Chain A
Amino acid sequence: MKPRRADQLSAESHRAAVDPVSAQLVSRLARERSRFRLIVHVSQISILVVCLLLWQWLIDAGIGMAFFFSRPSDIGKFLYEAVLTGSLWADTAVTLGATLIGFVVGSVLGIGVGLIVARSPTLDAILDPYLGILNSLPRIALAPLFLLWFGLGISSKIALSISLVFFVVAINARAGAIGVPSDYITVARTLGASEWQRFVKIVVPGSVPSIFAGLRLGVVYSLLGVVTGEMIAAKAGLGVQLTFLAGTFQIAGVFGILVILAIIAVVLNWLMAVAESRLLRWR
């Protein structure tokens, strides 16, 4: 048999795809997959619509109490007006900004400390109880101190956010670095890699999956810390609006803020997922 060239090979595989049975099987699989996706999406949207309609109907029919529960149409109106007048932009920007700053600073510190601690068993053993205690401490309880130290501006809620993000990221980074298979380190040593090269080329990339697990939690924690800080005391932010609206019984507004917070959380999670799939393409 004559050796086949690459173009002939591709022509052959093309012919294989045209083979009627295989073509039929391939298109059947595609049909089944798209049908599955359709069912999932339609069901998801239906649940939301049914819940909203039920809510609206319960209030309109006078069965539920509009004063406590508001209703979807009022929430929609609140959000529509907020977008039109731009009344919530400043607060959204403050909350989002604080969340991002707290997340980035907390993550960078957390990754750094986690990796350094993992490199030295001695340091790890020394710091272990301190990290453990601080991490089990309910960090929200630190809010009054942060308010005293950093005031009512953006700094105190960033501090609260960092105190939450730092530990969850540090603990995951440490676990990731310790969990890097020792074979990788051995092979790197025999390849002639220096201590620093081993750290940069083996330990750091090897910890990325675990670090990302920490970052995914961290972004949620950061938003949590910022909004909680704002609810306790602050000059601006969605948390401030939330307590104000609840305190003045503007329930549609409260739900409106919750919707905005949910959108922020979803977008941040989505950004993390994109970054993760980029960095962990090899999985």
Chain B
Amino acid sequence: MLTTIPGPCYAQLNERLVASIEESVTAVSSPISPGTHDSLDVAAKRLRALSAAHSSGSQGKPAIRLDGVTHYFVSQNQAARVVDDISFEMPAGQFLAIVGPSGCGKTTVLNMIAGLVSPSVGHVWRNGSPVAETGRDIGYMLARDSLLPWRTAQANIEMGLEVRDVPRASRRVTAERLLNALSLRGLGELYPSQLSQGMRQRVALARTLAYEPAFLLMDEPFAALDAQTRLMVQAEFIRVWEGTGTSVVFVTHDLEEAVVLADRVMVFSARPARILLDIMVPLTRPRSVESARYGEEFDRTHREIWRHLRDEVVRASA
């Protein structure tokens, strides 16, 4: 399996603890005496400090950091602001989902983290160093599978390893393992044109995971799948991802997907993108994608996000 990074995982666990404590604080705040509330609050603060100390101790810097990032789309006679002064930090191992109305600039932010776009103003850091080019520590995935049609499924999966000069035998082992993990057993020799949409997107996922990137940057990766296939692929993805310590930034327009998959959800405003809401998802890990969407925590988080998003969607479509 993919490597585990112990440090950031602890940080992530701590953060989840903080989140769950905070949640219980709000849940029980009114009927309980102020004393209890305070002590819980203090515990939460201490844990948060601990977690921050841990992540800064082991990693030095947050895995991803955006500082005052603003971006313009420049055309012949005008420059339109698409991203407006976005700053945030993300610890290693976290799964961050970004939701927002269509065309709001989510993809641009993702592409800036990937190094495909450089911000007009501000800075982006990945693992403590400023992002200049794409680099070799990211895995990037789109809604369109964009598999190379002249390569077999297996050769597509091996692409990232091939450019890293990994020997053929070891490439094959990795591809084989991922084919099995993503229910693609025996399909390695087929060309993309011979595969269904769901299979192709699984191959694209396998290609992204094959070289064990430290960051997964995903732009609505499952949006093109039909509803049932999407559920299956989401579940497989979470099963493969959990325990890897890989940091994920996941852009989606599907609120349910955001809540079910992510540790943390950010809501972006209509263009130009600003952060409207930044909340932790109070669901535990390991998580079952199938059952996570039935429950009080899910409903509450979903409602909270939608409350912020609804006006923006109206604004964006107006």
Q: How far is the CA of A188 from the CA of B163 in the complex (A)?
A: 9
| A202 to B160 Cα, complex, angstroms | 13
Residues on the A chain within 8 Å of B149, using CB? 282-283
**Interface status of A97 (Cβ within 8 A of chain B):** no
Q: How far is the CA of A194 from the CA of B136 in the complex (A)?
A: 10
Shortest Cβ gap from A217 to chain B (Å)? 22
Cβ of B114 within 8 Å of any chain A Cβ, yes or no, is yes
CB contact under 8 A between A208 and B150, given known A187-B140, A192-B136, A193-B163: yes
Interface contact tally, CB-CB below 8 A:
61
Interface residues of B in 142-197 (CB under 8 A from A): 142, 144, 146, 148-151, 159-160, 162-164, 191-193
In the complex, A192→B166 CA distance in Å?
13
Q: Considering only CB atoms and an 8 Å cut-off, how many residues of chain A contact the other chain?
A: 22
Q: Is B134 an interface residue (CB 8 A)?
A: yes
| Residues of B close to A206: CB separation below 8 A | 148, 150
Whether, in the assembled complex, A48 has its beta carbon less than 8 Å from a beta carbon of chain B, the answer is no
Q: Do A189 and B134 have beta carbons less than 8 Å apart?
A: yes
Residue B245 is within 8 A (CB to CB) of chain A in the complex: no
Q: Which residue on chain A has the smallest CB distance to residue B148?
A: A184
**A283 neighbours in B (Cβ, 8 Å):** 149, 193
Q: Which residue of B lies closest to A192 (CB)?
A: B136
Q: Is A181 an interface residue (CB 8 A)?
A: yes
Find out whether the CB atom of A187 lies under 8 angstroms from the CB atom of B142.
yes
Contact across chains for A201 and B139 when beta carbons are under 8 A apart = no
**B-chain residues with CB within 8 Å of residue A282 when the two chains form the complex:** 149-151, 191-193
Total count of chain B residues near the partner, CB < 8 A: 26
A192 touches B146 (CB 8 A): no
Measured between beta carbons, the chain B residues less than 8 angstroms from A190 are 114, 116, 134, 138-140, 217
Cβ-closest chain A residue relative to B217 = A190
Question: Within 8 Å of chain B (Cβ to Cβ): is A32?
Answer: no
Kindly list chain A residues whose C-beta atoms are within 8 Å of the C-beta of B135. 192
In the complex, the answer to whether B148 meets A205 with C-beta atoms within 8 Å is yes
Is A183 in contact with B134, judged by CB distance below 8 angstroms? no
User: Chain B's nearest CB lies how many Å from the CB of A13?
Assistant: 15
Contact of B116 among A184, A186, A192, A194 (CB under 8 A): A186
Question: In the bound complex, how far is the Cα of B88 from the Cα of A149, in angstroms?
Answer: 70
A205 in contact with B159 given A190-B140, A282-B191 (CB within 8 Å): no
Which A residues touch B142, using CB under 8 A? Answer: 183, 186-187
A-B contact pairs, 27 of them (CB 8 A): A184-B148, A186-B146, A187-B140, A187-B146, A189-B116, A189-B134, A190-B114, A190-B134, A190-B139, A190-B140, A190-B217, A191-B159, A191-B207, A191-B211, A192-B134, A192-B163, A193-B159, A197-B163, A201-B148, A201-B159, A201-B162, A208-B150, A281-B191, A282-B149, A282-B151, A282-B192, A283-B193
Known: A183-B142, A206-B150, A208-B150. 18 other contacts (CB 8 A): A184-B148, A186-B142, A187-B142, A187-B146, A188-B159, A188-B163, A189-B134, A190-B116, A192-B134, A194-B163, A197-B163, A202-B148, A205-B148, A281-B191, A282-B191, A282-B192, A283-B149, A283-B193
